Structure 1
Amino acid sequence: KADMPLIGPLLDYEWVAYAFSWFGAFYDLTIPFFLWNRKTRPFAYITVIIFHILTWLLFPIGVFPWVMIFSTLIFFGDDFHQKVLSRLDGIFKLPASANFTQSRIHPALRIFFIIFLAWQVLWPWRFMAYPGKLFWTEQGYRLSWRVMLMEKAGYVTFHITDPRTGRSGEAHPSDYLTPNQEKQMSTQPDLILQFAHYLEKEYQAKGVEDPVITAEAYVTLNGQGSRLFIDPEADLTEKDDSFAPKEWILDYED
């Protein structure tokens, strides 16, 4: 991103990375309080827009910034949302059934939100039930409120063997996947497993009834040296994708 106008040249400096990191942490920890305050809310929301547009420009995180920009509107009072709905009603001529009125929250809905919030708090802690380095195995990583904490890169070659004839060959993901799909698959164990099962069906269609499929995968984590990722002797066609620990992921050795 060093070619970006204005701030691009600054991104080459290491101190800028640290400054962005600490500012981002400080911002995330303090912005809710400014959004809760009616007097500071409009100005805080402007900073939300600026902050997330910057993250959209600097990092490949998809629609996340736009989701955050619009979901932050929940901090505004009901009068604000009523005005928005009234304007939408004037533009789109919403039917009467679409007009929102204030009403008491049903007890069942309260229970649902309590369970939902409890799940949001407890579910991220499931990583403690899995062995190994979290960012390496990614078991318990998803839906755990961890954002932009790791960078992984890797490549995978799949080896297919016909146990009846002993003949073997290689399958390269680039022959089946787009570059982005291959990039994502190459560093995530469950996606590697899914692709192995896909290859199993492909080779069964070619007449190989019970192919043995292994993976030779090398991955680098946060700029460290490339390491063997998957047990190269494990037949992935015999592995199931479940919440159980994936013993075929090799340990990360510092």
Structure 2
Amino acid sequence: MTERPRLERLWSLLLAPRDIAALVAFRMALGLLITVSSIRFLAYGWVDVLFTRPRFHFTYWGFDWVPALPAPWMHAVFAALGVLGLCLTAGLFYRVTTVLLFVAFSYVQLVDVSNYLNHYYLVSLLLGLLIFVPAHRAFSIDAWRKPALRSETLPAWCTLLLRFQVTVVYVFAGLAKLTADWLIHAQPLNIWLAARTSMPFVGPLLEERWVAYAAAWSGFLFDTTIAAFLLSRRLRPFAYVVVVVFHAATSLLFPIGMFPFIMVTAALVFFDSSWPRRMAARLRGVSRAEGIEPPPAPAPRVPGWQGQAALGVVLAYALLQVAMPLRTHLYGGNVLWHEQGMRFSWRVMAREKNGSVTFIVIQSATGREWHVSPGEYLTRLQEREMSVQPDLILQLARHIARDFEARGLGPVQVHADARVSLNGRAAQLLVDPDVDLAREVDGLGAKPWILPAPDSPPIRLRPTLRAQAH
């Protein structure tokens, strides 16, 4: 018997029927998380604080055309996200729901760069993938309304694509910790843990250096290996327990919002496709022999050119997801300092950075000088993010120049005295104070006006007398 061509074997793998139950559970859980997150934003007033109260919004390169909606409309967007999350869970108008969720959720992320969070970027990606994954063909209102839509199986590529996406997150989050600061100096974990000494029972231990080292190496090993353990059928249940414990611990120690819940939910895509049926059967006391598995689907056929084109698009997407975290190496230097290629690269909780910026505005015609505080234009949260990110410093500098010129004081030069501390080091200049930022243009190219990162080691905290007594 001749061996089948490799492409045919690949298609057999991608199109092999798999139980739809696991992706249905993932669909339901993700929808509920989106609804809960939207309710939290509305209930805690974060919509106003982050989106409607700021007078100036930082934009992503190429997306400066995305407007910040007025307050009533912004609240309506989050209310719609909450409703759409429930629709996703129920499988109601699934195709329209996933598209609207992807657009609305991505819009919220694009309104202001200073609100960027890795886990919300992940949610946008997962929603984008679900547009093409028909996870509504069972256990959904759509399948109840349209019996012809029903199917107990989905092709294997649906699960493989989601697994790939979550694997990318974990692996690159781990590789981001492969630095001297993280592994050799246990920073910034030493700083963060030492600030949590008021916690009951474990508080005094948290400022011990060995605890910081244990946490640093545990985090590195967890992120770099957990996807491999989740892919192992034998080790998967134990690995998932580790996932839950790890993210529960980070949730207790650090104020990171929905991140642990999103990652615990995302890890469900690694489980066997029939796990929800088996769990339901155990709860009902039904044995496997009584038919908890879906009926087998017919063998897949190798698709034509449309399938080949779809495979090409998927491969391009996969290549992009790998290239995005790697792009920072094109800039050289320390990405935690210059931030070029930092976003969309899964550098999760990788640095502690604090800074202060004063803008010096000089009237070109007269030499008259003004010292401008960012607080005149930004909220406190925006100022905190801007003060350590060079591209945001540039955006505000250009906005200040336009503001002065609109008041009839231009043309002006805008310089920045930006002093930043990375992982507890002494603060030093982040950008060249002699450069007129009003004349610099933002883009994807390297920014020569960003000064080199400090070469000294990070701060080394000493335990307090209270900790030493324990």
Shorter-chain TM-score: what band?
A: 0.7 to 0.9
Instruction: State the TM-score, normalizing by the size of structure 2.
Output: 0.46
Of 380, 386, 390, 1:189 maps to 390
Kept after mapping to 1: 8 A contact 2:226/2:239: yes
1:10 aligns with 2:205: yes
Question: Compared with structure 1, are the counterparts of its residues 5 and 140 closer, same or farther at alpha carbon in structure 2 (3 Å cutoff)?
Answer: same
Q: In the TM superposition, what is the alpha-carbon distance from 1:125 to its structure 2 partner?
A: 2.5
The 5 A counterparts of 1:1-254 are 1-80=196-275, 106-254=307-455
Q: In the TM superposition, what is the alpha-carbon distance from 1:215 to its structure 2 partner?
A: 0.4
Give secondary structure in 2 for the equivalent of 1:57. Answer: helix
Which ranges in structure 2 are unaligned for 5 or more consecutive residues? Answer: 1-195, 280-296, 456-470
Aligned equivalents of 1:162 and 1:83: distance in 2?
73
Aligned equivalents of 1:82 and 1:73: distance in 2?
14
Question: Compared with structure 1, are the counterparts of its residues 108 and 5 closer, same or farther at alpha carbon in structure 2 (3 Å cutoff)?
Answer: farther
Q: In the TM superposition, what is the alpha-carbon distance from 1:82 to its structure 2 partner?
A: 7.4
User: Can you list the C-alpha shifts for 1:68-123, whole angstroms capped at 9, x where unaligned?
Assistant: 11111111233246799xxxxxxxxxxxxxxxxx8969443332221122222233
What is the one-letter code of the residue matched to 2:314? Answer: F
What is the one-letter code of the residue matched to 2:371? Answer: E
% identity of equivalent residues = 43
Aligned equivalents of 2:218 and 2:390: distance in 1?
33
Kept after mapping to 2: 8 A contact 1:131/1:245: no
Q: In the TM superposition, what is the alpha-carbon distance from 1:232 to its structure 2 partner?
A: 1.0
Aligned equivalents of 1:48 and 1:252: distance in 2?
34
Question: Compared with structure 1, are the counterparts of its residues 82 and 207 closer, same or farther at alpha carbon in structure 2 (3 Å cutoff)?
Answer: farther
Pairs aligned (count)? 237
Greater relative contact order (CA < 8 Å, ≥ 6 in sequence): 2
Question: Compared with structure 1, are the counterparts of its residues 35 and 204 closer, same or farther at alpha carbon in structure 2 (3 Å cutoff)?
Answer: same
Aligned equivalents of 2:425 and 2:403: distance in 1?
35
Aligned equivalents of 1:214 and 1:44: distance in 2?
51
Aligned equivalents of 1:252 and 1:29: distance in 2?
26
Give secondary structure in 1 for the equivalent of 2:274. Answer: helix
Aligned equivalents of 1:143 and 1:130: distance in 2?
15
Give secondary structure in 2 for the equivalent of 1:146. Answer: coil
Greater shift after overlay, 25-34 or 194-203? Answer: 25-34
Kept after mapping to 1: 8 A contact 2:355/2:418: yes
